Chains A and B, each alone.
Chain A
Amino acid sequence: MSMKKNYVVETIRKAQMVQLLASGKRVDGRSLDQHRELKIETGVIPKANGSARVFLGNTQVIAGVKIATGTPFPDTPDKGILMVNAEILPLSSPYAEAGPPSEDAIELARVVDRGIRESKMVDLGKLNLVSGKSVIAIFVDCNVMNVDGNLFDATSYAVVAALRTAKMKKYVIKDEKAEATNELIQVPVEKTPVSLTFARIGDKVVVDPGAEEEASMDMRITITTEDGGNVCASQKGEASTITPAQVLQAADTSIRVGKAIRAKIIEATK
């Protein structure tokens, strides 16, 4: 029995897709800059410090936040630790396998982590307890429950929503030692980064590619923007290229569409 490697789009389906794109339409009826329906639930894991489940079309991601104390990294002795990890569950897709995280899962975690980190969403300076010895460490673990394209954005929204609703213990410093109190406080969230992924199929660039579009795309680019309308991170994927004009246009779209998505995330995490 051979193992399924990855999703193959039917040749006639791809021809249909390219034909539709030429007239500014997509196979699922969306316009080029329209994302799929976004649904955000928070507080889905009672025992976690914060959690969220995001549905982006049929793509489904769950994120959980765990907060503990830890030793800071030697190069940032007075800054807290933030780590984003992602796993693609075997049940989520016929092409996902159990075992150590795949290349895709590692890239997913890194791209999402970069967007959160570079936007300065969490003020890591405020997580310092005892310089060089003890800081607050935030771990965000994501599980992809269902794969239907564009895991980057769904995971990013889940992480942002989970962090926005996360609560942690307040610490007091006694004799150079951090002691936890029973008081719960919010994680110091300063910004709401929004990631938006684009796929180039032929000479058209579309927002939030679905599974079929991802399987037929030539290249993809993920652009994360923050509240001020600044681009704070981006990552290109796949072997092919993109023109400078297309990148600039994608950045503009990311800022414009990102604004609406940001409002949705803020509304869902009030």
Chain B
Amino acid sequence: MPMIERKQVIPGDVIAKGNHRYGPYIEKRGDEYVALRVGLAEVGGDGVKLNPLTGPYLPRAEDEVIGKVVDINGFGWVIDINSCFDGFLPASFVFGREFSPSTHDLSSKFAVGDIIGCRIESYERSRDPQLSIRGEGYGRVDSGEIVKISPTKVPRLIGKRGAMINLISEKTGCDIRVGQNGVVVINGSPEGISKSANAIKMIEEETQAPDLMTRVEALVGGTGSG
């Protein structure tokens, strides 16, 4: 496996030269790959990648997100997905092909203010992201405490193969659901919720700390059913 090289970059920094595959937030100028955001750059087997330190949630197809219904129109729900774009959940994805605006009452299914776990069905830059609740576990979230973190910190919160989130979940006995858009819903005992929320906030604030896992463990370690 090739060595992965990580370095901090600011906009304008050259991350690599030559011929690579490259991801978002990077521009190719001649044979140089230039960073467009402040973040950590990686050059490895997968090409050139840049993980920005801040920024809004940019929708990606197949992402699982947690959104809030902010409006209902005749054909579906407008969902705030904590992004610069509003998501749209078409009624036909929920009621099926026989959906008709005159016979189905959309607000009886999801009302304004409801929290919905959903998946980004498709997204291209010319249109608002389209959402879907097809699949297991998607749909209205009926209880829990909502915590929002910066979407760029989500990978760290989840950890390698879910190590970090599983740790918090096991130690606090809470069920934690993380949307790729930075919205987290925690269910459990009041003490567990408050512990988990503190741990999540710590991860958000100290994302770059090398011993984060140990410190999170110390923070949530006290009680737990895990």
Q: Count A/B pairs, Cβ under 8 Å.
A: 37
Q: Is the CB of A8 within 8 A of B68?
A: yes
Q: Is there contact, CB below 8 Å, between B86 and A13?
A: no
Binary flags per residue of B57-75, CB closer than 8 Å to A gives 1, else 0: 0000000000011110000
Within 8 A of B (CB), among A1-52: 1-2, 4-5, 8-14, 16
A16: B residues at CB distance < 8 A: 145
Whether B112 is near chain A, meaning CB under 8 Å from some CB there, is: yes
B111 touches A (CB below 8 Å): yes
**Segment 25-71 of B: residues with Cβ below 8 Å from A:** 68-71
Q: Are A14 and B86 touching (Cβ within 8 A)?
A: no
Q: When the two chains form their complex, are residues A2 and B86 in contact, meaning their CB atoms are under 8 A apart?
A: yes
A contacts with B: majority SS? loop
Q: A1-B128, A5-B71 are in contact. Are A11 and B86 (CB under 8 A)?
A: no
The answer to whether A13 touches B85, judged by C-beta atoms less than 8 angstroms apart, is no
- CB-defined interface of A54-93 with B at 8 Å, one 1/0 digit per residue? 0000000000000000000000000000000000000000
Say yes or no: A10 contacts B68, CB within 8 Å. Answer: yes
Distance in angstroms between the alpha carbons of A2 and B86 in the assembled complex: 7
- Contact between chains at B113 and A14 (CB < 8 Å): yes
Q: Does B115 contact A (CB under 8 A)?
A: yes
Instruction: Determine which of B85, B115, B145 lies in contact with A11 in the assembled complex, contact meaning CB atoms within 8 Å.
Output: B115
Which residues of the partner chain B approach A1 to less than 8 Å between Cβ atoms?
A: 85-86, 128
Whether B114 sits at the interface, judged by CB under 8 Å, is: yes
Interchain CB contact (< 8 A) of B112 among A2, A8, A12? A8
Q: Is the CB of A9 within 8 A of B113?
A: yes
Judge if B78 is at the interface, Cβ distance under 8 Å.
yes
Chain A interface size, under 10 / 10 to 19 / 20 to 34 / 35 or more: 10 to 19
1/0 per position for A205-235, CB-CB distance to B under 8 A? 0000000000000000000000000000000
Q: Would you call the interface of chain B mostly helix, strand, loop, or mixed? A: strand
Q: Which of B80-133 contact A (CB under 8 A)?
A: 80, 85-86, 111-115, 128
**Separation of A5 and B112 alpha carbons in the complex (Å):** 12
| Contact partner, B144, options A2, A12, A14, Cβ 8 Å | A12
Q: How far is the CA of A8 from the CA of B70 in the complex (A)?
A: 6
B110 to chain A, nearest CB (A): 10
Chain B residues with Cβ below 8 Å from A11 are 111, 113-115
B156 to chain A, nearest CB (A): 25
In the complex the two chains form, is B113's CB within 8 Å of A2's CB?
no
Taking CB atoms and an 8 Å cut-off, the chain B residues in 126-164 that contact chain A are 128, 141-146
B175-226 contacts to A, CB under 8 A, are none
Contacts of B142 in A (CB 8 A): 12
Given known contacts A12-B142, A12-B143, A12-B144, A2 and B71 CB-to-CB distance under 8 angstroms: yes
Whether A8 contacts B78 by the Cβ 8 Å rule is no
Q: Which residue of B lies closest to A3 (CB)?
A: B86
CA distance A111 to B68 in the complex (A): 33
A12 CB contact (under 8 Å) in B69, B70, B86, B146? B146
The residues of B that contact A8 with a CB separation of less than 8 Å are 68-70, 80, 112-113
Task: Tell me the complex Cα distance, A14–B69, Å.
Answer: 14
Find chain A residues with CB under 8 A from B86 CB: 1-2, 4
Closest to A215 in B: B113
Residues on the A chain within 8 Å of B146, using CB: 10, 12-13
Chain B residues closer than 8 Å to A10, beta-carbon distance? 68, 113-115, 146
**A4 vs B84: C-alpha distance in the bound complex, in angstroms?**
11
Further pairs besides A2-B71, A2-B86, A8-B70: 8, Cβ < 8 Å? A1-B86, A4-B70, A5-B71, A10-B113, A10-B146, A12-B141, A12-B144, A13-B146
Q: Residues of A with Cβ closer than 8 Å to B?
A: 1-2, 4-5, 8-14, 16
